[in-house]
Amino acid sequence: MIQAKGYAAQTATTDLAPWDFERREVGPHDVQLEILYCGVCHSDLHQIKNDWFPGIFPMVPGHEIVGRVIKVGNHVKKFKLDDLAGVGCMVDSCQVCENCKDGLEQYCFEGNTQTYNNKDRQGVPTYGGYSNTIVVREEFVLHISDELPLAATAPLLCAGITTYSPLRHWKVGKGHKLAVLGLGGLGHMGVKFGVAFGAEVTVLSTSPSKEAAAKELGAHHFVVTSDPEQLKAVRGSFDFILDTVSAEHDMNMYLSLLKTNGTHICVGVPSAPYAVQPFALLGGRKSLAGSGIGGIPETQEMLDFCAEHHIVSDIEVIDIKDITASYERMLKGDVRYRFVIDMATL
Ligand code: NAP
Ligand code: ZN
């Protein structure tokens, strides 16, 4: 076994702390990375706190992983030593179902294997990127361009693909009015991609203090959702709302901001179910939709698109010992827009 070190939560009520553990040996189809940076996703916090379902502990979070290849198995074709590489939210899937064959491994009929807080196909718990190294089968490892700043590339592996994928699926672009709801890690990537695809982008935010920063990201308009007058002015005006909110919010009110035939796309995952009024949908033939991360081919496409268009996340690099304080700041919306852990501080 490979000796690894990282930061783990031992239970849902304890803070993350240093933890030594084992990774599997590098198999013939595996790639081993030295992890250099890992982004801090709100999903990490949801999961160590059992917000969604009881987790598997000890839990090493982290699914926005970038690093360097330090070992490859005999049959590995796509990677060689010293390549830059990334790993996102999944590390395996059945590879044979219709969705896997279509490059939609995130919707694998057997369920994909999540990078952490999951068990692999042998029943062994998976551990994420808040650690010094990881072993992953090559199909789930992504190529990272050396044109892009590495730390700021890490969040593309989750926040990037999770916003890129639905905007591509619904062909959001020129002529569309897109609202991005919530300007955090996912939201700021939604703004960048929406602008890059040619949409007219409005940020819907609870934080008036984010207005200037939103405009710097390229957003055309900014609406403070606690101001009834500002909300009234955009009622019935959006073709799409990309909802990245991590906490409970009033879905019916946001549905009223869509045009007739508009689509509200949920990517945020609050812990409680939505309460949706049927009339909020049928009055205007509106669609309520959802989207989960993105498949491996599309994740590579997104990374290549970002390299070509020089798109990365806006980040604040942190020491791993500051992770708990960073979660507290993330909960308050006090980060522009993603924390990324420098793994050299482990
Ligand atoms: P984040 O950085 O904390 O951003 C969430 C943003 O939501 C906040 O910055 C805030 O923006 C807004 N917000 C927070 N509480 C709110 C409330 N009560 N009402 C309205 N707005 C509120 O989180 P993130 O990392 O972007 O993740 C966002 C959500 O997406 C999480 O639930 C995460 O688990 C989920 N996620 C889903 C997928 C997927 O595959 N679908 C992938 C990754 C993450 P303002 O200050 O602008 O209001
Ligand atoms: Zn994530």
Q: Which amino acid is at 167?
A: L
What is the reported pLDDT for 215? 96
What is the reported pLDDT for 181? 98
What is the reported pLDDT for 141? 98
User: Would you place residue 81 in the very low, low, confident or very high pLDDT band (cuts 50, 70, 90)?
Assistant: very high
Minimal-distance CA residue to ligand 1 atom 16: 247
Pairing of strands 221-224, 200-205: parallel
pLDDT one-digit tens code per residue, 122-178: 999 999 999 999 999 999 999 999 999 999 999 999 999 999 999 999 999 999 999
Minimal-distance CA residue to ligand 1 atom 19: 249
CA of 39 to the centre of ligand 2 (A): 8
Average pLDDT over residues 329-342: 96
Q: Is 234 helix (H, G, I), strand (E, B) or coil?
A: coil
**184: Cβ below 6 Å to ligand 1?**
yes
User: Would you place residue 103 in the very low, low, confident or very high pLDDT band (cuts 50, 70, 90)?
Assistant: very high
Cβ atoms of residues 120 and 91 within 8 Å: yes
Specify the domain boundaries for CATH 3.90.180.10 within the chain: 2-158+294-345
Q: Is 243 exposed, middle or buried (0-12, 13-18, 19+ CB in 10 A)?
A: buried
Average pLDDT over residues 1-7: 98
CATH architecture of 2-158+294-345: Alpha-Beta Complex (3.90)
C-alpha 143/C-alpha 40 separation (Å) is 20
**334 Cβ neighbours under 8 A, 6+ residues apart:** none
**47: Cβ below 6 Å to ligand 1?**
no
Q: Is 96 helix (H, G, I), strand (E, B) or coil?
A: coil
| Distances in whole angstroms, Cα of residue 143 to Cα of each of 131, 150, 155 | 20, 12, 14
CA of 85 to the centre of ligand 1 (A): 26
**182: Cβ below 6 Å to ligand 1?**
yes
Q: How many CB atoms lie within 10 A of CB 245?
A: 22
**Angle, CA of 64, 125 and 96, to the nearest 5°:** 75
Q: Is 311 helix (H, G, I), strand (E, B) or coil?
A: coil
Ligand 2 (ion): residues with CB under 5 Å are 41, 43, 158
What is the reported pLDDT for 64? 98
**Mean pLDDT of all residues belonging to the chain:** 97
For ligand 1, mutation pick of 38, 40, 42 (most atoms within 8 Å of CB):
42
**229 Cβ neighbours under 8 A, 6+ residues apart:** none
Structure tokens at 272: 């409680």
- Residue 305: phi and psi, rounded to 5, are -60, -45
User: Would you place residue 7 in the very low, low, confident or very high pLDDT band (cuts 50, 70, 90)?
Assistant: very high
Task: Provide CATH code, domain 161-290.
Answer: 3.40.50.720
C-alpha 194/C-alpha 293 separation (Å) is 16
Q: How many CA atoms lie within 13 A of 12 on its CB side?
A: 11
**131: Cβ below 6 Å to ligand 1?**
no
What is the reported pLDDT for 292? 98
Which ligand is nearest to the Cα of residue 163, counting in written order?
1
Specify the domain boundaries for CATH 3.40.50.720 within the chain: 161-290
**294: Cβ below 6 Å to ligand 1?**
no
